Each structure stands twice: as structure tokens, then as C-alpha cells.
Amino acid sequence: MKELSVDVKNILGLQLPSDPRWVNLAELQLDEILTDHAYCEQKAATTCISLITKNSEKELLVEELPHERFLDQMLIMALIEARSCERFKRLSEGLDDAYMRNFYRRFMESEAGHYTLFITLAEHYLEKKVVRRRWAEWLKYEKELMKEMEVRGDRIH
């Protein structure tokens, strides 16, 4: 499997790149990629709205949820955003059409912002070392999961 570029590994923390065949498969199913991404973004927005609604006072957000659950929710969302950022980067570099490369580059930049937001939010409420330790555990888990997953071009996440 192709190594992760230094910027993706250092910035996102991902331990294993998407299978290089993914871009070729995804290129054949770009409509499905966008549909999948829209659906996942809708689910993420619903989760965030639910957290806000249930915990309208910022101070109560962590108090109402067990710390581990809150942290895992933030980190799982960050991981999903990091992986989609990496895949949008691959599309932005792997497609022949310049317009589509730029289109997916903008998605990549947006996903990077979402990834950062979830990490920052977790670190706002919990100790940075606790967040980073748990983040490393999730990255390790995701790496093993990626090794076992079938390569499909119809999913961004």
C-alpha cells in the first residue's frame, strides 16, 4: 500500500492510507461519492445538533455526558473527517479534469477544518494529554480496520 504523504500523516495522524485503487474506483462512481458524503454530513450535523440541544449550556456539555463518551464522540467524528479529508485529497490529485480536482480540493479543505474543530472541542473540555492519548488509540484501531476493509469506490467514509 502506498505510504501516506508526510503532510497527511503529520497533520491528520492517519496511520494507513486509503488503498491506492480507491481513487480509480471512486472516479467511476463520483455521484455515489457525493451522495454518500452528503448523507454522512447530514448524520454528523444531526449528532452535533443533538449534543447542543441536550446540553445548551456549554459548561454542562461534559458534565452531562460521561467524559469517555464525550471524548469518543468527538474523536470518532474527527477520525471520519480526517479520513474523508485524505480521500478528497487523493481525488483532488488523482483526477484528470482540472475543474473536478479543484472541486475536491475545496472539499478536502472543508473536511480538514471539521477534523480540527472536533479535536479542538475535545481539548477545550478535557486535558490535551488525555485527548491525545485516546486519539492515538482510535488511530491505531482505524488502521487495523482499514487493513480488513474491502476497497469500495462508492464511499468516502
Q: Does residue 4 lie within any of the structural domains?
A: no
- Residue 93 sits in a domain of what CATH number? 1.20.1260.10
Domain count, the chain: 1
Task: Answer positive or negative: Cα dihedral of 61, 66, 69, 75.
Answer: positive
Question: What is the CB neighbour count within 10 angstroms for residue 35?
Answer: 14
98 lies in which domain range?
Answer: 26-142
Q: 1 falls in which pLDDT band (50, 70, 90)?
A: very low
Please provide the distance, in angstroms rounded to a whole number, between the alpha carbons at the two ends of the chain. Answer: 18
Q: What is the pLDDT of residues 83-121, one digit of tens each?
A: 999 999 999 998 999 999 999 999 999 999 999 999 999
Alpha-carbon distances, residue 136 vs 33, 73, 147 (angstroms): 28, 15, 17
Q: What is the pLDDT of residues 60-73, one digit of tens each?
A: 555 555 778 889 99
Q: What is the pTM of this model?
A: 0.81
Report the distance separating Cα 118 and Cα 83, nearest Å: 14
